[in-house]
Amino acid sequence: MYVLNLRLINIRNHTNSFYELSNETLFTGENGSGKTTILESLYILFGLKSFKKQPLSSAVTFDKDFFRIESEIKDGSLISDVVCLFNNKRTTMINGEDIDNIVDYVYNHPIACYTPDILGILSKEQQDRRNFIDRFIFYYDKEHIYDIKHYNRLLSQKQAEFDKEASDFIYLDVLNEDLHIMDQTAITLCKDNGIDLCVFNMQEDGNIAKACEGVVVGTTISKGGK
């Protein structure tokens, strides 16, 4: 995929700028002339967010209500029009149609960027390095996005438990081990309502019936221990 051109309207110091791009394009100019904004605009267009740690609303030119980024991209022999419009919220379109699957869109339009705002793997911040690596793994394997969501949900659940006056360490053990035996929402539901968990092999004949009859099979996880 190649970006053929780029138009920037009302984004930072670009009121209406147009650039023809090639396979390798070099931008030169004085400090504050808008070179970084060109890179930021490409990142917003294909990554759907800025690499700056600021909301998209901060990119709108002073005294304007919106910004608009337009581009023609070429994939093989196919040329498509891509537009990102921000007017209180972001809208991204391909050939006049709103994108209907954000995961597929980002996966199909990979972008990498190094600036003082986003050093990626070179950053001193662990989370910045993790985000950079996660993005590139995602470009290789789209399903990785669901691993990231699962991981972040586990972290949120653990933090919520630590924030309580009396943490349930049996529950924390389940989260730490991330057993992949049942949905984390189900684990949370059982924990919050004081319901014991019975973990067993459903593929073994008779185990479901035994569990329903109260026969001990597999492992029981409760507030009292395992």
The domain total for the chain is: 2
User: Within a 10 A sphere around the Cβ of 10, how many other Cβ atoms?
Assistant: 20
| Prediction pTM value | 0.65
Task: Answer yes or no: do 113 and 197 share one domain.
Answer: no
Q: Parallel, antiparallel, or unpaired: how do β-strands 219-221 and 197-199 relate?
A: antiparallel
Domain presence at residue 16: yes
CA nearest neighbour of 107 among 134, 131, 83, 138: 138
Tell me the helix, strand and coil percentages in the chain, rounded to 5. Answer: 40, 25, 40
Tens digits of residue pLDDT in 28-46: 999 989 999 999 999 999 9
* Residue range(s) defining the domain that contains residue 59: 2-119
Task: Answer yes or no: do 8 and 114 share one domain.
Answer: yes
Give 223's pLDDT tier (boundaries 50, 70, 90).
low
Give the pLDDT score at 226: 45
Tens digits of residue pLDDT in 52-69: 888 999 999 999 999 999
Q: In the chain, what percentage of residues exceed pLDDT 90?
A: 39
Q: Read off the CATH number of the domain in which 39 is found.
A: 3.40.50.300
What amino acid occupies position 21? L
Q: How far is CA 96 from CA 56, 70, 134, 174, in A?
A: 21, 11, 30, 47
